[in-house]
Chains A and B, each alone.
Chain A
Amino acid sequence: MELTAPVSLRLGHSATIRRRQHALILGAVLIVALGLLPLPIHDVYTQNLIILTLLFAGLAQAWNILGGYCGQISLGHALYFGIGGYVSTLLYLRLGIPPTLGMFVGGAFGAMAALLVGWPCFRLSGHYYAIATVVIGEIGYLLFLNWDFVGGANGLYIPFKGESLIALQFRTSKLPFHYAALIYAAACWFIAWVVEGSRYGFAWRAVKDDVVAARSLAVRIFPSKMLAAALSGLLTGIGGAIYAQYVGYLDPESMMSGTLSILIALPAVLGGVGTLWGPLLGAAVLTPVSELLRSYLGGSGRGVDLMFYGALIMAVSLARPAGLVSLFVWPGQAKLRRRRGDAA
């Protein structure tokens, strides 16, 4: 379905191309920098922090494809994360299939789940859709908790069988996981970049801004939403598989809980929903903050770390509703926004 973008959407077209080229360059630079980052760092705690940040940057970006660009706020994404992790782990434990392959199968299952969820739910509006995703996430969690085949409440334990790159198992070194997480985050970012500039990206922005007008552009909304869901589910599932192998233990509580769903969406929202850099920025701020708060303030058991974390979320939401990316406005962007009449 070829979309002939009208003049209004193509205004600032050359500026957009330049912006996207800049983004690509910046992305490449970042990847190299992050690739070199862990080499001087030998402190395991910091390494872990960076890996978690990268994973969540990827997960948030995956969420962003559906929630940010496509406007469908899913608060049940942990379902795809958990499915990806469980499928990959079960393939490894029961059939010996290494997670480097299993993660893609896990991702595929995540994509399928996202399609199954999207199909009946996309016709629901705003809040109804959000709550439906929460409910479906909960159903997934409860089903897994009561299903012996996936280990139920006991969870699945991944025994350490010796160092292996294919099986993503390493004694104490975190370096390989760092690169796995980096590649993952980069892939998610890149796919978001591609999507943003594609005709689907245009279509979704049109849909997000004004569904009625978008229809008049002969945009087929539903199939494009399904595509967003599939992509989002796929990437989230792969992230789940990597995480499962990293932690070495899965149970429904840690892989599919409602809180996890919020934690996946939060960096994207606070960083800047529907933007390319928002999820990365959000993850880079939130993950270290929450880990450090817990490690250094949680020990008292007085809930001080929770108070700080909650206050931070409130403050950023209110002070920077467009996300933390709005702190970084480069020349031309403000003009571009005004011309596009951005008020979403």
Chain B
Amino acid sequence: MIRLVLLAASALLFAASAAQAADDVLIGAIYPLTGGGSQAGLDAKTALTVEADVINGNHNIPGLLGKGGGLPHMGGAKIKIIFADHQGDPQKARAEAERLITQEHVVAIIGSYQSSTAATISQVTDRYEIPYLSADNSSPTLTRRGLKWIFRTTPHDEMFSEVMFQFIKDMGIKTGHPAKSVSVIYEDTLFGSDSSAVQKKLAEAAGIKVVGDIRYRASSPSLSTEVQRLQAANADVVLPSSYTSDAILMVKGMNDLGYKPGAIIAQDAGFLEPNFLNAVGPLADGVLSRSSFSLDATASRPVIAPLNALYSSLAGRPLSDAAAREIVGLQVLADAIDRAGSTKPEDIRKALIATNIPGDQTLMPWKGIKFDETGQNILGTPVIMQVKDGVYHTVWPDDVATVKPVWNVK
């Protein structure tokens, strides 16, 4: 009798697990869930969970895979995300990537916020021949190392900085007050050095003088001297590349010294974070930043409203730039798997190469997603946003702007 029960139970379990296996497409997600970048990592986790839920469930929202019910060309197979923590350490990122691939048998990996961790993850994925979808790593060098399995949906820092200078030029023409000088102020890790290098090069090319070049120690107790130097340099436009904590200190420091530059155009990161806005309140008004995502582009991107509702109910705050990029990253990856119709890495890779998604199928204000031969999305078109009354609004380019930009350059 007992044997019968056990047999039945094991048969049921086997059937259940077999059914499970047929349904679930396993994707690994490696993010900093503890340690210094844990705030960003946890947001990424929420974002990916939301998008997976959209794909698997029946929220029925507009856009690619918005109908839900799993992957249509794979019999409704569901996306299952397995999260791993790299703590911002390239070695741990590598170990987790290997674990996800060899033990959890994921068919693809998405990640990873800090570019240093992406460096090792992409090495692993290339060696194991598994696709790596870089949703939010912005270092340009990542797609320039001749790797075959990395695909990056987000624009990188060079593309972002180019947009910033296009904006500066445009503002100069429109308002008749062109910027003649810039100061770059940047933190001393990978993000800052990449970003500032590009900005200095672009400034030179545009004939704009770089009067301040201030590299500062990330997470310093105080940035007042650095801000002093900014003030002394007195550039028309200040270009900071900072994470949240430093952004808070910088803006407060400027207020402490009564310093108001003509324009502050930030390289996203800390400046777009809701925590930054909460911390500095009205002091942030007028701050500009490049952004991949336009929260207020709801007219041209109707999917933003339902996605934002889903996300903010879990995260307790609206969609951030990074979270939006993670959502579209997963959307693109899932779509490729769907088009491939299989979980074989080579098939997924071919499908990724063939990707050509129009921007309005996603929540991003981009022209679309199409990868070049290095794996970089070349249709990602960033926007410029500005804080007004404590909220970021899209101000440029004109076809997506919702408010007019305020430009105080003299």
Interface residues of B in 166-223 (CB under 8 A from A): 188-190, 192-194, 215, 217
B73-93 Cβ-contact flags toward A at 8 Å (1 or 0): 000000000011101111110
A258-295 Cβ-contact flags toward B at 8 Å (1 or 0): 00000000000000000000000000000000010011
Given contacts A154-B194, A155-B190, A298-B33, contact A247 B127 (CB under 8 A): no
Q: Is the CB–CB distance between B99 and A295 below 8 Å? A: yes
Residues of chain A contacted by B102 (CB below 8 angstroms): 43-45
Choose the segment among B34-42, B325-333, B361-369, B378-386 that binds chain A (4+ C-beta atoms closer than 8 Å). B34-42
Q: Is the CB–CB distance between B120 and A249 below 8 Å? A: yes
Residues of chain A contacted by B101 (CB below 8 angstroms): 44
Residue in A155, A160, A254 whose CB lies within 8 Å of B89? A254
Judged by a CB distance under 8 angstroms, whether B409 is at the interface is: no
Residues of chain B contacted by A8 (CB below 8 angstroms): none
A155–B190 Cα gap in the complex (Å)?
8
Interface residues of B in 36-91 (CB under 8 A from A): 38, 41-42, 45, 83-85, 87-91
Which among A43, A299, A306 has the highest number of chain B CB atoms within 10 Å?
A299
Q: Is the CB–CB distance between B193 and A45 below 8 Å? A: no
Q: Is the CB–CB distance between B190 and A154 below 8 Å? A: yes
Residues of chain A contacted by B189 (CB below 8 angstroms): 145, 153, 253
Residues of chain B contacted by A251 (CB below 8 angstroms): 90, 116, 190
A45–B102 Cα gap in the complex (Å)?
8
Residues of chain A contacted by B215 (CB below 8 angstroms): 146
Residue in B85, B126, B192 whose CB lies within 8 Å of A301? B85
Number of A residues near B (Cβ < 8 Å) is 33
Given contacts A48-B98, A172-B128, contact A299 B103 (CB under 8 A): no
Judged by a CB distance under 8 angstroms, whether A196 is at the interface is: no
Given contacts A247-B90, A251-B90, contact A146 B99 (CB under 8 A): no
The number of residue pairs between A and B whose CB atoms lie closer than 8 Å in the complex comes to: 99
Q: Is the CB–CB distance between B89 and A298 below 8 Å? A: no
Given contacts A298-B85, A299-B33, contact A45 B90 (CB under 8 A): no
- Smallest Cβ distance from A29 to chain B, in angstroms? 29
Judged by a CB distance under 8 angstroms, whether B152 is at the interface is: no
- Smallest Cβ distance from B85 to chain A, in angstroms? 3
**Nearest neighbor of B115 in chain A, beta-carbon distance:** A154
A303–B33 Cα gap in the complex (Å)?
8
Judged by a CB distance under 8 angstroms, whether B95 is at the interface is: yes
Residues of chain A contacted by B42 (CB below 8 angstroms): 301
A159–B94 Cα gap in the complex (Å)?
15
Residue in B98, B123, B146 whose CB lies within 8 Å of A248? B123
Residue in B90, B96, B98, B128 whose CB lies within 8 Å of A254? B90
Judged by a CB distance under 8 angstroms, whether A190 is at the interface is: no
Q: Is the CB–CB distance between B87 and A171 below 8 Å? A: no
Q: Is the CB–CB distance between B116 and A303 below 8 Å? A: no
Main secondary structure of the interface of B (DSSP, over half): helix
Residues of chain B contacted by A45 (CB below 8 angstroms): 95, 98-99, 102-103
Interface residues of A in 127-165 (CB under 8 A from B): 142, 145-146, 152-155, 157, 159-160
A299–B30 Cα gap in the complex (Å)?
9
Residue in B92, B98, B127 whose CB lies within 8 Å of A294? B92
Q: Is the CB–CB distance between B141 and A154 below 8 Å? A: yes
Residue in A44, A153, A243, A298 whose CB lies within 8 Å of B98? A44
- Smallest Cβ distance from B375 to chain A, in angstroms? 16
Given contacts A44-B99, A160-B123, contact A300 B33 (CB under 8 A): yes
Judged by a CB distance under 8 angstroms, whether B119 is at the interface is: yes
Judged by a CB distance under 8 angstroms, whether B145 is at the interface is: yes
Interface residues of A in 217-253 (CB under 8 A from B): 243, 247-249, 251, 253
Given contacts A157-B145, A249-B119, A300-B33, contact A43 B103 (CB under 8 A): yes
Residues of chain A contacted by B84 (CB below 8 angstroms): 295, 298-299
A308-337 Cβ-contact flags toward B at 8 Å (1 or 0): 000000000000000000000000000000
A172–B101 Cα gap in the complex (Å)?
12
- Smallest Cβ distance from B391 to chain A, in angstroms? 27
A303–B95 Cα gap in the complex (Å)?
19
**Nearest neighbor of A257 in chain B, beta-carbon distance:** B89
A295–B28 Cα gap in the complex (Å)?
13
Q: Is the CB–CB distance between B188 and A145 below 8 Å? A: yes
A160–B129 Cα gap in the complex (Å)?
14
A247–B98 Cα gap in the complex (Å)?
12
Q: Is the CB–CB distance between A247 and B193 below 8 Å? A: no
A254–B119 Cα gap in the complex (Å)?
13
Residues of chain B contacted by A171 (CB below 8 angstroms): 127
**Nearest neighbor of B192 in chain A, beta-carbon distance:** A153
Residues of chain B contacted by A159 (CB below 8 angstroms): 145-146
A153–B197 Cα gap in the complex (Å)?
12
Residue in A146, A249, A295 whose CB lies within 8 Å of B116? A249
Residues of chain A contacted by B126 (CB below 8 angstroms): 160
Given contacts A43-B103, A45-B95, A146-B188, contact A298 B141 (CB under 8 A): no
Additional pairs, 14, CB under 8 Å, beyond known A294-B34, A294-B85: A45-B95, A45-B103, A152-B193, A153-B189, A153-B192, A153-B193, A154-B141, A155-B119, A155-B190, A172-B128, A243-B91, A298-B33, A298-B84, A301-B85
Question: What are the 10 A-B residue pairs with the smallest beta carbon separation, nearest first?
Answer: A298-B85, A301-B33, A45-B99, A44-B102, A153-B193, A299-B83, A153-B189, A301-B42, A249-B119, A44-B98
Could you pull out 6 A-B pairs where Cβ atoms are within 8 angstroms?
A: A45-B103, A248-B120, A254-B90, A254-B116, A298-B33, A301-B85
Chain A residues packing against B (C-beta within 8 Å): 43-45, 48, 142, 145-146, 152-155, 157, 159-160, 171-172, 243, 247-249, 251, 253-254, 291, 294-295, 298-301, 303, 305-306
